[in-house]
Amino acid sequence: MGPSPVSTALCSALLLATARLASASSENGKEALLPSYHYGAPIPIECMNRSIETGEHISDENEQIQWIPFPECSESGRSLEFHYGVETELNCTIPMIDDPFFHLLEFYVHNDAPLACRLPSRPAAQVEIVGESPPEQEYIPLVFALAGTLQKSHLHISTHLNVLLHSVPKHHLHHHDSGVLDSGAAYSTSPLSHMAGTASKRLVIGDPLPLQFSVRWFPTPALPKTEGTVEWQGMGGHVYASTIFYALVSFTAGTLASAVYFFGVILPKRLRGRGMGGATPLGYGVNGVGNGWGISKRID
Ligand SMILES: *[C@@H]1O[C@H](CO)[C@@H](O)[C@H](O)[C@H]1NC(C)=O
Ligand SMILES: *[C@@H]1O[C@H](CO)[C@@H](O)[C@H](O)[C@H]1NC(C)=O
């Protein structure tokens, strides 16, 4: 007797599920094999090499952007680096601002070009799997938003920057693993008082540039929470990120239909009912929908 249709179907369903499971666990396995930063591990910083004439980034012969180490700090005698998970006040004096670097600073301060850098999201892989090409190194962007003003003969530069770094929580397969980088931001503080304040420097070519970094870490991509919940304010009440996410997901399918219904049926009725007042149909609609989109931008 051959196999019944039911058992055949069951069998193939089971096979399919097993195959899916296997492929899922091999993905997880690969992820687990990739190295992650341990607490205190040095994280090198590379920045785009730029033309001092135009501020444009420089590409190599393969049209790849050329990344060069952040300038050397006289304190450490090494290029600037952060350390995984280490919150610190870090001094980095660039010993002498030469003519090319001075011109680049002018580009940065004027936002003609960003001081665009990158950090490896995880340490380089040490172990190679036989028969597989080593995984490509991934980087997170870190743009130093440097504030200052340009004068005829000199520059004023804000010398204190906050550096915020987010890491990704890991399910610790090996407990000494700490995690990988998720994202980061760096910006001059108090840019408006930088000409008077102590955290600023009047700079001419040949001067040292004493930079100070306040480095802080977040253990997740999320910003700090209140009572265990990410809280969004300023929408006339407390709205929770998870609520918005759920709402976005569940409403995506019906959005078009409901929008058509709202703008086509409900809104005209309401407007007729209340008279136009000060609200134009468009203004009314945009306000009603606007909050949702504003928040959705902040989630992704
Ligand atoms: C950056 O590019 C310039 C112009 O091509 C080059 O002269 C310079 O050596 C590069 N900098 C580094 C650190 O490679
Ligand atoms: C960093 O520099 C500031 C200003 O020069 C100084 O007051 C501070 O002690 C230095 N901090 C460290 C850790 O060296």
Name the closest-CA residue to atom 14, ligand 1.
Answer: 68
The SS3 call for residue 116 is: strand
89-99 per-position pLDDT tens digit? 999 999 989 99
Q: Which of 210, 203, 212 is nearest to 102 (CA)?
A: 203
Residue 74 CA, ligand 2 centroid: distance in Å: 13
pLDDT at residue 260 in the model: 55
Least Cα distance to 35 among 121, 139, 117, 119 occurs for 121
Predicted local confidence at residue 11, as pLDDT? 46
Pocket of ligand 1 (CB under 6 A): 49, 58, 68
- Tell me the best of 80, 88, 89 to mutate to test the pocket of ligand 2, counting ligand atoms within 8 Å of each CB and taking the most: 89
pLDDT by residue (tens digit) across 178-219? 789 999 999 999 877 756 667 888 899 999 999 999 999 998
Tell me what pLDDT residue 284 has.
33
SS3 78: coil
Which residue from 159, 162, 163 is spatially nearest to 140, judged by alpha carbons? 163
Q: For the chain, which residues make up each domain, given as ranges?
A: 36-125+136-237, 239-300
pLDDT at 175: 54
The confidence score (pLDDT) of residue 194 equals 59
**pLDDT at residue 276 in the model:** 39
pTM over 0.75: no
Q: Which ligand is nearest to the CA of 58?
A: 1
Q: Judge residue 77's burial from the number of C-beta atoms within 10 Å of its C-beta, 0-12 exposed, 13-18 middle, 19 or more buried.
A: exposed
Stretches where the chain sits below pLDDT 50 are 1-2, 10-11, 13-27, 233-251, 253, 273-300
